[in-house]
Structure 1
Amino acid sequence: MLKEGITPIDIKRIFDKHDTKIKYLERLFAQTNLYLTIPRSIVGIDSCIIDTWNYRVSKDILREMFFHSEKYLSGIKCKNDIDFLIDDWNRNNLGVIEWPFSAANFDGYVARLNRRTEFSEEDKDNILAEEVIKFRRIKDINTKRNDYIESLIVLYNKNIIPTFRHNRGLDYYINGEPFDQKVSRGVGKAFKDEFGDGYYNIAINHPELVAKSLYENQDEERFDDDPRIYVVYLDDNISSDTIEQAIIDTDFNNPIEIDFEYRHSNRNILLHRTHCYILLLHN
């Protein structure tokens, strides 16, 4: 927890390069009237960051630095890119913005298309070409949405310390605690099977049930019960304005407490307890 102190692991997660550490220490010393010499070695610099860590002051300095970083600026720029890509989709009459197939099931999709005897070989080529184009475009839109979301979450929440690098397994520190941002293309098959045709409204009214289901149905190879920020797309046609309003409306000071059971590969069913935030994106 960063409120108690910063560790070498936290330093590696937060800072992207040597120069960022130096700039941080220079600003910290200036604001706290510390008259210290910044060490030359990497080990010495990291030790200095640990020894002089001041959660309240350090948080504000890191946030201010982040707003001038390439990661933040490129993420914020994605607002215009998202709107352009959606408009371009519509200009090309590509229909409803929805995934034509899943990446994991591409082989199955092609096999089903090949069995369609009502289409000629040329028709099948044209159908597949258009669906691949849709897949690529949606992938591009969602990549930019996710970068935009990360920048906006930091912008609107002063209790968040951002990371200057892209980390696997950690994106922010919220009130000093590490959180990983997970993106889901929907609520998942298990949630739909459990709640049937009414799943959409149930998800909107009970986001905690969505989060619980996502924890319960994750792959065991990547299983964990760490705190997360779930970004869940209930609809695919999500504008940048919708994303921004959803983030503004989400309280990032009160996580959802989750108790869930998980059946592990050894057939043991264990109870896990965690907490998370969930950002439901819908029209």
Structure 2
Amino acid sequence: MAYEDEDLAQLRIPLIALVDATNNFAEENLLKRGEKADVFKGVLTLFDAHINVVKLKYSGHLFNFYEDIKRIRSWHRNVVSFVGFCDEKDERLIVFEHVANGSLDKYLSDPIFLTWSQRLHICFGAALGLSNTLGSLKSFKILLDKDWEAKVLFCIESESKNSDLYCLGVILLEVLYGRNSTIEDVNRYIAEMSEKQYHDEGELLDDVIPPNLRTQMHAESLSIFSEIVYNCLKEQSDQQSISMFDQILKRLEQAIEIQEKHEKVSTFIITLKQN
């Protein structure tokens, strides 16, 4: 193809291999049905690799298709690995690694299964992945691998005009609230945090954070995280930079360090009492 460079040619996967991997895109392998694409799970027998196949529903111009491929093919440990693509017989397919534990939003509501410390590490991984794909994503979601490490997934469903930083802020807010957030949640958070009410011992957040999650949090860890969420949500334009993500990563590391020290001290005290 005129639009395909030499590097992309090495990532081409024959249609017959993807038909075989998904049992001809069988209904039992369907993970998600979308307006612009369907997603199927499968096993690529050539590599014995578990994969997800995004089957686009529009033919589209090949130039646009290859431009999308070029944007998402970079590798980072916190980005879902791009496996390859196919453009045979009017089919447009994009192939990613299969991420074992699926989407983060499935676990938000359980503060025992997904503790505050785990949530902080997941948020750090998500921010790290985004900082390495800056400007290349139209939209994204966060998946969790077998070790519960965050991986950023490129999505084609959304035409969001918001920045990656703002979208990350929404995800962090959901991690904090333990549920999917609404635009009303976001607007209320921005308004109240802009009045600096979060300095009052976390009172702003105590009515929305799940009690079982709130009891795990060190106050300073929560305060830092709240500040990060606010700074992300304020950023709705495309004017974002690596330095902004670097600052977020440093602050998340501080929140993690404070929380882990708190948990070590708590464990030590419990051990002393038991003895």
Q: TM-score, normalised by structure 2?
A: 0.28
Q: Pick the structure with more helix per residue.
A: 1
Q: TM-score, normalised by structure 1?
A: 0.27
